[in-house]
Chain A
Amino acid sequence: GAGVSQSPSNKVTEKGKDVELRCDPISGHTALYWYRQSLGQGLEFLIYFQGNSAPDKSGLPSDRFSAERTGGSVSTLTIQRTQQEDSAVYLCASSASPNHEQFFGPGTRLTVL
């Protein structure tokens, strides 16, 4: 079956612009995570969705970052007024439930000029 997909695979934007990154989780997976992977850094947790519960936003680095998950499936991560330090690979993962293996998508490589 299809794995986690993310789009776009690459995004180049100018400082100050807004960007939207999309994640399509594995069908039926109730848990969805966003991580950020900067050069030379490990994956940094950003936000977690579980079913219809309120998301855990504790990892979002600033109020310029937001995410939503529509209909318990597709998720969009939005970064407003992008800064150069936002340049990173943004990874999405989904799991069948919170205590099951997380399956990662290929990521979106964001470059802010």
Chain B
Amino acid sequence: QKEVEQDPGPLSVPEGAIVSLNCTYSNSAFQYFMWYRQYSRKGPELLMYTYSSGNKEDGRFTAQVDKSSKYISLFIRDSQPSDSATYLCAMSDTMEYGNKLVFGAGTILRVKS
């Protein structure tokens, strides 16, 4: 079993929809949680970063972490065609020496205009 599980999709939604992307994990030591967006033929770029449990909002994006359930989510409100990309969750047990991130497989999102 992988340390981080993520449904690969693809997830196809109409423009304006609310999108929910999720990851589950098995390592209870993870404390730092990130969401990356990766466009085709590009490297991942950091979208959201959360420490421990709770919610964090940034514009149309909201990240949620539930450590008791080992479950994290990314919500995208008013989705746009430009949001079409692969979304990768990543996590780590430390942000100190050797911040080796453990990634999910990524979910392909397609927003139709």
A interface residues, Cβ below 8 angstroms from B: 4, 31, 33, 35, 40-45, 48, 50, 56, 58-59, 91, 93, 95, 98-99, 101-107
Judge whether A45 and B43 touch: CB under 8 Å: no
Judge whether A95 and B88 touch: CB under 8 Å: no
Judge whether B97 and A45 touch: CB under 8 Å: no
> Closest chain A residue to B32 by CB distance?
A99
Q: How far apart are the CA atoms of A103 and B42 in the complex, in Å?
A: 12
The 3 closest A-B pairs by CB, nearest first: A104-B43, A42-B103, A99-B95
Binary CB contact string for chain B from 39 to 74 against chain A (1 if under 8 A, 0 otherwise):
001111110010000000000000000000000000
Judge whether A42 and B88 touch: CB under 8 Å: yes
A-B contact count (CB 8 A): 61
With contact pairs A40-B105, A42-B88 given, residues A48 and B44 touching in the complex (Cβ less than 8 Å): no
Chain B contact residue count (CB 8 A cutoff)? 24
B interface residues, Cβ below 8 angstroms from A: 4, 6, 8, 41-46, 49, 88, 90, 95-106
From residue B90, how far is it (CB to closest CB) to chain A in Å? 8
Judge whether A43 and B103 touch: CB under 8 Å: yes
Judge whether B104 and A42 touch: CB under 8 Å: yes
CB contact between B105 and one of A33, A42, A48, A101 (< 8 Å): that residue:
A42
Judge whether B101 and A45 touch: CB under 8 Å: yes
CB contact between A102 and one of B4, B46, B97, B106 (< 8 Å): that residue:
B46
> Closest chain A residue to B6 by CB distance?
A42
Judge whether B101 and A104 touch: CB under 8 Å: no
